[in-house]
Amino acid sequence: MQGSTHGIPIDTDKSSPIIVDLIYRLKIRDVMTSTILSCRPEQTMQDAQKLMKDNSITGVPVMVERRLVGIVSMDDVINALMTGTMGQPIEKHMSRQVIVLEDDMPLSFGISWLDKYRYGRFPVLNAKKELVGIITSRDIIVTLLLEMNKEIERFEEATSHREASTSGFHLEYTTRRFDFEMAGRLSTETKRQLKERDLPPKIIRRVAVAAYELEMNQVVHSAGGTVRVVYDGNQGRVEILAQDTGPGIPDVESALSEGFSTATEWVRSLGFGAGMGLPNTQRVSDAFSIESSPAGTCVKVTIATEERSNP
Amino acid sequence: MNISQVISQLQLQSLHDCWDDGPLSGAYTSDLMSDVMAHAKEADLLITIQSHKNTIAVATLVGARGVIVCNNRPVPEDMLAAARQENIAILVSREDQFSVSGRLYNLLRGE
């Protein structure tokens, strides 16, 4: 496919090869939702409306056996409501000219067809013309975000590897309040780096636990901050420094005792904020210090990377 | 005992197939992530209702082989994507944590 294809908002000749590759490499089947709700032509518009409402969707394929005969959308429901014909069978209201996609088409088709036809969804057929899924712009957005995230992570990893010297490394991540998505990235990357250097699994786990708890603490309790991990191979130790921008811990001693928590209900519902974060961190550390004021909290952890035979 | 045996014995639904089917050391049941980090062991299965991306992060940190999501809780797409990337199995059960733990205990320790 040459030049800018109809409906794709980027120039496929000049754009980043990673992104262009993405929309051609991904197939419609990788993006579509495969659990398909459907209705039969003899059901009423009320049935269609209930199905849409119960499942928060705006269109449903109409099927006879495994054959697609039409599609009924929220627009059709609104028209039926306005004309008082909600009791009529769906077949009187559905669109019969259904634009479909095939499951092995590249995603670029899906993107351009959404623009070309202005429908909210397309049924997806396989080579045997059977309905195998449905694709919406939401499906496309979600998949593209996940895939782009993967590509960027790969890119960032390649960059950080180049900076890392053969023995030591230095990683720093920024956390934001309630950004649970990002938390865990530092500890996962730290674990990977330490594994590459063949450190004992027990040590790696202790470092990863400390880094994760400190990241989580910032996400749950602070206005945000940074967590830095420095591994010094010559000194044989990992240092973790977590520095946030407030509001500080009013009672540090209580925060260090297991079970004490100031987390909100919804944070707890995710399985965090049980008051074990700082105690867990302290338990896995060889040296642990904490300083807190309303301007911020700074936690410093040191973990020796060689299991010492003499104390 | 490995994951594929557990799947068939406990009639679990596996949501993807990017995981290693190595031997399991045991299992840990908890909905508290800090508790999991403090006590779960390498090559464990994690039994929980915490169905979100951070569960995968925690499972990865402790070296768990998989997560059994109980009570048929829906698994968000970002969790599934993270699990694929980290080779952590996601197994869904209709049953609650008590039943899954009990049955898994018999399987693992009754061998």
The CATH number of whichever domain residue B33 belongs to comes to 3.40.1390.20
A113 and A176: one domain? Answer: no
The CATH number assigned to the domain holding A108 equals 3.10.580.10
The CATH number assigned to the domain holding A215 equals 3.30.565.10
Distance from C-alpha of A119 to C-alpha of A136, rounded to nearest angstrom: 9
Residue B80 belongs to domain spanning: 3-109
Average pLDDT for chain A: 86
A185 and A275: one domain? Answer: yes
Q: How confident is the model at residue A20 (pLDDT cuts 50, 70, 90)?
A: confident
DSSP type of residue B32: -
Residue A285 belongs to domain spanning: 164-304
Domain count, chain A: 2
Interface test with A, best of B30, B33, B35 (most A CBs within 10 A): B33
Domain count, chain B: 1
A172 and A134: one domain? Answer: no
Note whether residue A124 is domain-resident.
yes
From first CA to last CA, the distance across chain A in angstroms is 68
Q: Which residues of A touch B (CB under 8 A)?
A: 142, 146, 150, 180-181, 183-184, 187-188, 191, 201, 205, 208-209, 212-213, 216, 270-272, 274, 276-277, 280, 283
Shortest CA distance to B82 belongs to which of B18, B24, B31?
A: B18
Q: What are A60-84's pLDDT values in tens digits?
A: 999 998 889 999 999 999 999 999 9
A113 and A243: one domain? Answer: no
E strands, A41-196, in order: 59-64, 67-73, 101-102, 121-125, 131-136, 169-176
Note whether residue A29 is domain-resident.
yes
Q: What are B44-53's pLDDT values in tens digits?
A: 999 999 999 8
> Which residues in chain B touch residue A146, judged by CB atoms under 8 angstroms apart?
77-78, 81
Domain finish residue from A142, A173, A202: A142
Note whether residue A310 is domain-resident.
no
Q: Is the ipTM of this complex over 0.95?
A: no
pLDDT above 60 for B111: no
Domain finish residue from A82, A110, A142: A142
The Cα of B70 is separated from the nearest Cα of chain A by a number of Å equal to 15
Across A243-264, average pLDDT: 86
CB-based contacts of A83, cutoff 8 Å, min separation 6: none
Shortest CA distance to A177 belongs to which of A255, A245, A257, A79?
A: A245
Q: Residue A105's pLDDT is what?
A: 87
A242 near A298, Cβ under 8 Å? Answer: yes
A181 and A295: one domain? Answer: yes
